[in-house]
Structure 1
Amino acid sequence: MDKNIKGAWILQHGQKLQATTNQDFDSISFAGKCGKFLSAISAESQEKISDKQLSALARANYISVRTDVPMIIEELKRQRLILPGVGGIEVLGVTGKEVLKFTATIFEESERESFEDAVIELSEATSDFPITETLAVDFISDTFKLSKADAHSTLLVGSNIGFFDTESISSSEKLIFNGNLFRREDARKISAVLSTLNAVETQNLSDVNARLNDTGCLPLNGIVKILGEKLFSQLHSIGMFDVNIVGNESGQNSFVTRPAAFSKFTNSIADDALDLAKALVASLTYGMTVSSYYRGRINAISLLMQKLIDGGTVGPATAIGSDYQALEYKGVVKVIPANGGMFRMRLLKPEVGRLALSVIQSGNITGEAVDNLPGAKVTSYTAPEVTREFCRKNSTEAVKLKTRNLLNEIRTGGLNK
């Protein structure tokens, strides 16, 4: 498997393990934390990070300062990614793709269990096409020299953690699939889903897809109004839509993107493994569509974003000091104090900015240039995979039955009709 792809799966699985007490996948967990922390503290150019900043970034990314950070720092030193300094460290310039490669390297150099390799390989296989549990057991048993009992146990524990999803398709068989199914535009997968819908649902879905293709990102309530809660839940649960949640003191706002919107500019899970571009797109869309006028609604963004991508800073503005905390936590932007209680902002990850800007510019939500980045306060961000898991866990039996049928159609491509 390509190292970028493997690193992306390790990061995604590592984040899921952080929400559990499971100790079976220790190598995935540690390598995932290393990659997540490296992403948070690094930029494309070499950066100095104080001990205080290290602790703050660790806490913001749910990494224990006492138990995790010392081991992670030692590993990053061993990989020659950081240099010790007085009162902090220096982090060598690292791109997002390099973060993924080092994450994979850390995992590969660990003393890991063979079933840890198995869940990564199976995750990639089922993100392309669902397979039956019988085939999955045979695949990981033969490939990783596991007994059939251990292979079954690996599938059960992996699906409980959320490495992949399962749906019963008969009394004796389950379907194994992955939420990254629609990350790449695939006419066969789309047509398989459409073949299960009635004429009204098909028309409504076509309408929603057209609007998202035009715009890139839209508020959730508008999408649900067109599709209805039941149909949206079905399509969301199998990964046809991504739901991104941004939050602040006023509450939470949800926005919908399509994985295919990003696949115009990327072609795998590796290109936005930590959902950083989605976080940036959702934050900017909030500023353009929801943020109140008195905060300074964003009317345009292209030239400002290009300035950031080119290495420039925006500001000074008072609002910058509080409005982009979610992006600060993830190491996407750096907020710099200026005079008079104002702040400037610099983009630490130009590749994330380029992907986000491409998605935004592919739609029609950009306009005339503005002088400063207006307020669009976002203090928290919930990624698509988290919202998709919540949707599946809380779906009704009727919705789960329809989901099962949709996945069966995707698996066969409608060829058995």
Structure 2
Amino acid sequence: MEDRTTGAWLVHHAQKIQVTTNQDFDNVAFAGKSAILLSALSTSQQDSLSHDKVKSLAKANGIAQRTELPAILEELVRQKLIDRGATGIEVLGVSSSAVIEHAAKIFHESDPAPHELAAVEVADVVSAQPKREVDFFTELQDNFKLSSSAAKDFLTTASQIGFFDSEQLSPDERIYFNGNLFRKDGVKKVQAALDSLSAPERTGLTTLQEQLQQHGCVPVEMAVTTTGETLFRKLQAIGLIDVSSVGNDAGQHHFVTSPAAFSKFTNSIADDALDLAKALVAALTYGMTKSTQGRGRIMALTALMRRLIGGHFVGPATAIGQDYRVLEFKRVIEVRQESNGLFSMRLLKPDVGRLALAVLEEGGVMPGPSPLLPGASVSAFTGPERNRVETRHKNVTPQLKSGVASLLDDLRTGAY
């Protein structure tokens, strides 16, 4: 497996471990969190950060200041990615792609246990095609030297943590898959999914795909109206659609994209493992659909993004100080306060900007702004994977679970 793919799964797994008390995958968690912090600290060029800013960025990205930050900074120094001084740190210019490659290096140098290596490998395997439990045992025993009981324990624990998903096909049979299922060979898998749906469901999914092709990113309300609640939840549960959320004091605002929208311009989950491009797409869509012209609604997306990608400040506008705070936390952008309560911003990670622009340019800008929340600050982002998992485990009816399992089995046996 390429280092970039390994690193992407380490970031994915670290975020899953973060919300559990499990300590069986410490090397996975450490490598993934090291990448998350390195991404927050670094830009495309060498930069200096004060100790206070480092602590603030660590806190904003879920890194515990006392128990995790010192060890991660020590490792980043060892990897020659940062230098520590009396007043702060110097950070090398690192692209988002390079960040996750460094995660893989940190992981391999930590002498990971066999079950930790299996956690990465199995997640990647079931992102390509759903697999039945019985298919795993020989591979886990042969490739990772796990006993039959250890293999069974591993599958149970790893799926409970969320490294990959599982659904019961029958009392004696379970199927495993991953939310990244449609990021590889998406066209053939989507066709297999369409073939397994009823005629009305096929119509709903086809119409939604057309909307996403036209606009790149649409509000969740439009998508649910198109497909119906039950089909929408089924599509989200298996990862056929992505739902990203931006949040502020007035609530969460959900936007739908297609995994295929990103896979057109990237070749694996590695290219946006940290969800930075998705966060930028969601924030820009918010700026195009929820903001008003008086506070700085985005009117010319392509011109705006090309200037940002070129390294220039854009603005000033009131909205810049409010709509992109989540991107400040992740050091995707830098915001500068101007006079009269206005703000300007510049892009710190051009590679992220290029991917976000490609996704949005593939479709058109959503028509017209909504009058909702004209002054609310966007200060939180929830990525597709977390939204998908919460949907799968909240208010799931037996009929929906049965439908998801059946669809996965059809995908497993499909010819692609």
Q: 1:377, CA displacement in angstroms? A: 3.6
1:384 aligns with 2:384: yes
Letter in 2 for 1:352: V
Aligned to 1:66: 66
1:17 aligns with 2:11: no
Aligned to 1:192: 192
Aligned to 1:44: 44
Alignment of 1:94-243 (within 5 A): 94-243=94-243
Q: 1:342, CA displacement in angstroms? A: 3.9
Once the two structures are superposed, residues 43-87 of structure 1 have per-residue CA deviations (whole angstroms, 9 ceiling, x without a partner) of 110011111110110110111111111111100000000012231
1:406 aligns with 2:411: no
Whether the 8 Å contact between 2:296 and 2:319 is mirrored in structure 1 is: no
Letter in 2 for 1:399: L
Question: Partner of 1:111: helix, strand, or coil?
Answer: coil
Q: 1:337, CA displacement in angstroms? A: 3.5
Q: 1:321, CA displacement in angstroms? A: 2.8
Question: Partner of 1:267: helix, strand, or coil?
Answer: coil
Structure 2 Cα separation of the partners of residues 136 and 393 of structure 1? 24
Q: Percent identity?
A: 49
Once the two structures are superposed, residues 386-416 of structure 1 have per-residue CA deviations (whole angstroms, 9 ceiling, x without a partner) of 000011112211101000110000000179x
Structure 2 Cα separation of the partners of residues 220 and 318 of structure 1? 26
Pair 272,335 (structure 1): closer, same or farther in 2 beyond 3 Å? same
Letter in 2 for 1:21: T
Question: Partner of 2:196: helix, strand, or coil?
Answer: coil
Alignment of 1:287-302 (within 5 A): 287-302=287-302
Structure 2 Cα separation of the partners of residues 327 and 60 of structure 1? 11
Once the two structures are superposed, residues 221-272 of structure 1 have per-residue CA deviations (whole angstroms, 9 ceiling, x without a partner) of 1110111000111111000000001111222110000000111111100010
Aligned to 1:370: none
Structure 2 Cα separation of the partners of residues 340 and 216 of structure 1? 34
Aligned to 2:371: none
Aligned to 1:371: none
1:397 aligns with 2:409: no
Structure 2 Cα separation of the partners of residues 205 and 236 of structure 1? 12
Whether the 8 Å contact between 1:237 and 1:389 is mirrored in structure 2 is: yes
Question: Partner of 1:195: helix, strand, or coil?
Answer: helix
Once the two structures are superposed, residues 268-325 of structure 1 have per-residue CA deviations (whole angstroms, 9 ceiling, x without a partner) of 0001001110110011001111224443322221111111101111123344333311
Once the two structures are superposed, residues 86-121 of structure 1 have per-residue CA deviations (whole angstroms, 9 ceiling, x without a partner) of 311010000111101100000000032110000100
Unaligned runs of 5+ in 1: 368-373
Give the length in aligned residue pairs.
409
Structure 1 Cα separation of the partners of residues 9 and 133 of structure 2? 20
Once the two structures are superposed, residues 174-218 of structure 1 have per-residue CA deviations (whole angstroms, 9 ceiling, x without a partner) of 111111001134333122211221212111211110110111100
Whether the 8 Å contact between 1:245 and 1:382 is mirrored in structure 2 is: yes
Structure 2 Cα separation of the partners of residues 392 and 318 of structure 1? 38
Structure 2 Cα separation of the partners of residues 357 and 342 of structure 1? 24
Pair 300,184 (structure 1): closer, same or farther in 2 beyond 3 Å? farther
Whether the 8 Å contact between 1:296 and 1:376 is mirrored in structure 2 is: no
Letter in 2 for 1:356: A
Q: 1:339, CA displacement in angstroms? A: 4.5
Question: Partner of 1:169: helix, strand, or coil?
Answer: strand
Aligned to 2:370: none
Whether the 8 Å contact between 1:243 and 1:254 is mirrored in structure 2 is: yes
Structure 2 Cα separation of the partners of residues 411 and 351 of structure 1? 34
Aligned to 1:261: 261
Whether the 8 Å contact between 1:287 and 1:375 is mirrored in structure 2 is: no
Structure 1 Cα separation of the partners of residues 126 and 401 of structure 2? 18
Structure 2 Cα separation of the partners of residues 338 and 288 of structure 1? 22
Whether the 8 Å contact between 1:129 and 1:410 is mirrored in structure 2 is: yes
Normalising by structure 2, what TM-score? Answer: 0.95
Whether the 8 Å contact between 1:298 and 1:376 is mirrored in structure 2 is: no
Question: Partner of 1:36: helix, strand, or coil?
Answer: helix
Letter in 2 for 1:248: N
